[in-house]
Amino acid sequence: MRVGVLAIQGDVREHARVLTELGADVTLVRRPAELAGVEGLVIPGGESSVIDKLSRAFGMQQPIREAIADGMPMYGTCAGLILLADRITDGIAGQETFGGMDVTVRRNAFGSQVDSFETDLDIPALGAPPVHAVFIRAPLVETTGAAVETLAALDDGRIVAVQQGNLLGTSFHPEVTGETRFHQRFLALVASR
C-alpha cells in the first residue's frame, strides 16, 4: 500500500514514521507526479495558511482537490483538518482550503501556543483505551453537514475528530503520542478503495 504525506510544511516525519511502522510504503509528496503515485494522502499539522500558499506555489492545490473529488482517502491532522474543511472562520486574508469535508473549522480555536493542552478522549469508533490527544494551537469543528460523522468531542461537546466518506480529520496530533488507531483507520480506507 503506497501512501503519501504532503511534505511542504509541518510534522511530516512524524506521520511518515507512524505509517511506515504500520507497514505502508510512504512517499513524501511535494509535486503532482508524486501525488499521482499514491493511493492515499496525509496532510500534516503545521501552519494552514503556509501550507495553503505553498500548495499553490508547488502546483499542488488543484491536483489535491481533484484527488479528493475522485475519492482518494485523506487524513488531516490539525492544519490538515483545516485544509480539508469546506469552510474556515478566522482565516487570514485570501486563505483557501482543499475542501471536501462539509464542515466549518475555526483556526487556533483554543488560543495560542501557550494554551496547548492534552486530554484523554473516549472514541467509540476506535474502542478502548481512550485516545491521549495533544492539542497544539488546535482548530475546532464548529459545524458539520449531514454526511459528516463526529468521531470525537471534548467533554463540553466541542467536536475534535470527524469523518466524511474517505476523508478523516482530527484537531489533535496522534502522530506525536504513539497513538496509531487513526492512521490505521486511514490505511483501512485506502485498502478498501
Domain that holds residue 103: 2-192
Q: Catalytic residue at 142?
A: no
Query: Of 46-50, 66-70, 159-163, which range is least confident?
Result: 46-50
- Active-site pick, 96, 132, 149, 173: 173
pTM of the complete model: 0.96
User: Virtual CA dihedral for 115, 148, 95, 137, nearest 10 degrees?
Assistant: 10
For the question of residue 175 being annotated catalytic, the response is yes
**What CATH number does the domain containing 86 carry?**
3.40.50.880
How many domains is the chain built from?
1
**pLDDT digit string (tens) for 74-123?**
999 999 999 999 999 988 999 999 999 999 999 988 877 777 889 999 99
Can 118 be counted among the known catalytic residues?
no
Concatenated DSSP letters for 3-59? EEEE-SSSSHHHHHHHHHHTT-EEEEE-SHHHHHT-S-EEE-SS-HHHHHHHHHHTT
Condensed to tens digits (0 to 9), the pLDDT of residues 122-143 reads: 999 999 999 999 998 899 999 9
Question: 14, 175, 179, 183: which is the annotated catalytic residue?
Answer: 175
